[in-house]
Structure 1
């Protein structure tokens, strides 16, 4: 019987999240261009939409269930193996294979509310939505006038949910103004450092519930250190199981 792992209970025990350590082949980072996506309009039209309201702003996003169904029905070239493998295992997370990008995690709502309550001035600021998944945080920043980059581990998430969500809240033309990246944080940093100057680094980096694996603490630390401009601000809202280890992340 078919079952969606994304509808599983929100709170996972530590044993379910932290899998037995094994050799992991991390995905190399690459930039994803919206122009690469074929039949994007049709893909969006075939998916139902939901919305999140933050004060007076409404953020629309396509149904992750519809996306998974389409990937199951349409994928025949292996590009969506991460999502499909996670679905077969009824899992929200598979280390190094699928990093949970189709699910809107609880802390996303907390970070949205924080950004609005703090009334952050983001107009013309350069923002990185790190581990963006559906891109909800980045979409709010765009509504506040930011220039946004989106990054998620799985390319299929960027292609099939992040970019479509930017399109339905803006337009295809607007989506092309922003940049999208997939892959592991280490190679993402290397990709950026080939071209980025201090002036072009990020004013803000937002991330929520992206680091459940202690092996990735240094990677997160290095993203902040390498890509945040002098005087820039990071807002990491982290998975509750490792909140007790915040000092170990930022003292590296």
Structure 2
């Protein structure tokens, strides 16, 4: 619900925590953009968040090249948002996943800055996984056990007035065998869904990796999925 915080009824401090929770890790400039604030308001509410709880809820740090400043929730911060939203589950922090989370969120930010917010819905990993489970349940009537046994966790999903796409952000760390397995899992998960839900966009680092991923996909058995492979910053979501 990262795009819903701006107009929600939550107080600003909780909007801030909610945006960081949904993003996992998020640049300071992207918080300002998503919530319609300015830098002064962000500093004000970051300061207030530090007084919400005896333990720190929010932690900031520079990205690897020190070009941008980002925020992530601490474990008490994740627990606070879980309680705020009525979420059951173990609190999971994103300390080890900064690069992946920032790369994934950048896809959303590029889309919003180009096309605007109207009609757009973004599903983070948790939300996309739940959405896929729900769609498969409706399409197949499979038991929860069967669904869990074959489930894949998309990195994200994007819905616009023009369509729906599952999104994978590739850091070029997975082997050819792992990619083959992931492609096969997508075929298993999406083949029974309506055609509108059988589109996957892969965003990767460079042209060589893009070509490699396309080559592996071309060797997969014939199927009804649409797989698109894009270089980071050049992704498209048109049908």
TM-score range for the pair, normalised by the shorter chain length: 0.3 to 0.5
TM-score, normalised relative to structure 1 = 0.32
TM-score, normalised relative to structure 2 = 0.33
Between structure 1 and structure 2, the one with the greater Rg is 2
